[in-house]
Amino acid sequence: MVQAKPADRSGARSEAREETERLILDAAEKVFAERGFGGATMQAIAGASGLPKANLHYYFTSKETLYRRVVERIFTIWLDAAATFETSGTPEAALRRYITRKMALSRSHRYGSKVWANEVMQGAPIIQDYLETTLRDWTDTRIALIEGWIASGAIQPIEPRWLLYMIWATTQHYADFAHQIETLNQGTPLSDAQWDNATETVCTIILRGIGLDCARDSP
């Protein structure tokens, strides 16, 4: 039987292999994002990557394997962004940094965000364990952190959990609902200036909303 895991004895070979895999993963990410797992077809992914369908099965044993790899890659990127919500620094710095990073991610990884959204909407059949371990742990520590801010009087008392959801929702909305946003923007993608302005607006409302930045804006 043909194996998809050859020894990587040759540097040039394995490099070319990685490149092809990335090509397929990129195409798959886009197709899965727009049509969901069930709606996506290997033929469509093949078309988007410019490769014959049989070639996809040479690199990825099944549609589910390919989907799994796509989702895992996205989770890695999410983790990188999550790390920017540092436990040190002022509340304002931590939140501003995290929101800004997540907004940038929504612009650069629109399809990844959509795949994640699709996966969760379907009940997270693949990533359920991530949600219960990594995501839950991350969330718990940040909630504890925010509770500390509240206890010290740095920010107003609000339920930290709903604040986090608000940040996730708002930032990811710019990726998941990009089409709607573009339609309401005369059918054109947001400009650099609009992205900056949106990011700043989100930061301002969130920060002021939890009691930071309140006295500063209106002199």
Partner DNA sequence: ACCAGAGCTGACCATTCAGTCAAGTTTGAT
Partner DNA sequence: ATCAAACTTGACTGAATGGTCAGCTCTGGT
Nearer to a copy of itself, 65 or 201 (CB): 201
Nearer to DNA, 7 or 193 (CB): 7
52 binds, among DNA, a copy of itself, none (CB under 5 to 8 A by kind): DNA
- State both tokens at 103: 């907004």
95 binds, among DNA, a copy of itself, none (CB under 5 to 8 A by kind): none
| 129 DSSP 8-state letter | H
- State both tokens at 25: 């993963």
Nearest to 103 by CA among 162, 160, 175, 33: 175
> Where along the sequence are the contacts to DNA (CB under 7 A)?
1-3, 6-7, 9-14, 16-17, 20, 40-44, 51-55, 57-59, 61-64
Number of residues that bind a copy of itself (CB under 8 A): 60
Nearer to a copy of itself, 35 or 53 (CB): 35
**156 sits near a copy of itself (criterion: CB under 8 A):** yes
Q: Which amino acid is at 160?
A: P
Query: Which stretch in 49-57, 58-66, 76-84, 126-134 sits in contact with a copy of itself by CB under 8 A?
Result: 126-134
Q: What gap in Å lies between CA 79 and CA 97, rounded to an integer?
A: 15
Q: What gap in Å lies between CA 103 and CA 197, rounded to an integer?
A: 11
Q: Which residues, numbered 22-51, are part of the site for a copy of itself (CB under 8 A)?
A: 33-40
Q: Contact at 8 Å (CB) between 103 and 171?
A: yes
3-state percent breakdown (helix, strand, coil) of the chain, nearest 5 = 75, 0, 25
Q: Contact at 8 Å (CB) between 116 and 71?
A: yes
Residue 146: enclosing H or E segment and its boundaries?
Answer: helix 136-151
Residues within the interface to a copy of itself (CB under 8 A): 33-40, 114, 117-118, 120-124, 128, 131-132, 135-136, 139, 156, 158-159, 161-163, 165-166, 168-170, 172-174, 176-177, 179-181, 183-184, 197-198, 201-202, 204-211, 214-218
